[in-house]
A = this chain, B = another copy of it.
Amino acid sequence: MAIGTHIFRNSSSDDKELKKALKNLLGFAPKHLPFYIIAFTHRSSNEQLESNNERLEFLGDAFIGSIVGAYLFKKYPNKDEGFLTEMRSKIVSRQSLNEIALKMGIQKLIRFNKHDKMLRRSNIFGNSLEALVGAIYLDRGFDKTEQFILKNLLYNYVDIDDLEATDFNFKNKLYNWAQVNNKVVDFITLGESNEAGRRVFTVGIEVDGELFIKATGYNKKQAGQTAAQKALEQLGEVVE
């Protein structure tokens, strides 16, 4: 076992407990525990650990993207790549992953600074879920990673048909935010370009007449949706 684990694990009973919790969470047994210990260590933790979970988060984020992408590709054989991109961004958005992590109960396993109240309101649980996926990939390889994402994460915690139906949620939610906060929101087409033979549109969102955010897409509707989603995330509004 790596040296690092001794520094902050008290006893082998801790390890036993973590193993049990992981087996429940993953649906299969973990092999190399230190990967998971790092996955559940936020940088705010005061443990004297060499590494926190940010590198694993990078790794897990990438595999969630490709595995969810492949799932959507097969589920929707007649939808174009714009639809697939939009559906995926709904599933893997910071807010969505954070909610899934909370439903999974991952917060109980994470070591972070519990006195920092802001942290609880941020997306550290979703980030730790990404790191967990990175740990699974290192520990058990691609097939188990895919199994966890498809059979556990998507199957238990994501209502795909419901997500598909809430097509115009972001734009509506942003208008809603504007009304509550007494702001004026406008969608404006900023440009149109040709990229590898496809038209690409850039849509911007103005808040009270000032450009707040912009996004691109293969049609104006899609670019507007993406821009609205980015705006809501930046405003700290929960996107479902």
Q: How many copies does the complex hold?
A: 2
- Pick the residue among B63, B122, B146, B196 that contacts A127 (CB under 8 A): B196
A62 with B69, Cβ < 8 A, contacts A195-B122, A196-B119, A196-B127 known:
yes
A194 CA to B143 CA in the complex, in Å?
35
Segment among A18-26, A51-59, A153-161 that sits at the interface with chain B: A51-59
B43 near A59 with CB under 8 A, answer no
- In the assembled complex, A116 has its CB within 8 A of some CB on chain B: yes
Q: Contacts A124-B197, A197-B122 hold; do A59 and B55 have CB atoms under 8 A apart?
A: no
| A57 to B82 CA separation, bound complex (whole angstroms) | 11
Minimum CB–CB distance from A143 to chain B (whole Å) comes to 8
From B55, B65, B127, contact of A62 by CB (8 A): B65
Decide: A59 near B69, CB < 8 A? Known: A42-B197, A122-B195, A127-B196: yes
A196–B124 contact, CB under 8 A?
yes
Query: In the bound complex, how far is the Cα of B195 from the Cα of A143, in angstroms?
Result: 31
User: Chain B residues near A122 (CB, 8 Å)?
Assistant: 194-197
Query: Are A81 and B69 interface neighbours, CB within 8 A?
Result: no
Cα A62 to Cα B91 with chains together (Å): 15
Contacts of A44 in B (CB 8 A): 197
Whether A118 and B43, one on each chain, are in contact in the complex, defined by CB atoms closer than 8 angstroms, is no
Q: Provide the residues of chain B in CB contact with A42, threshold 8 Å.
A: 196-197
Distance between Cα atoms of A212 and B156 in the complex (Å): 43
**Bound CA span A142–B58, Å:** 19
Query: Taking CB as reference atom, which chain B residue is nearest A211?
Result: B211
Question: How distant is A5 from chain B, measured CB to nearest CB, in Å?
Answer: 16
Neighbouring B residues of A147 by C-beta, 8 Å: none
A85 at interface, CB cutoff 8 A: yes
The chain B residue with its CB closest to the CB of A73 is B59
Q: In this assembly, does A70 line the interface, its C-beta being within 8 Å of a C-beta of chain B?
A: yes
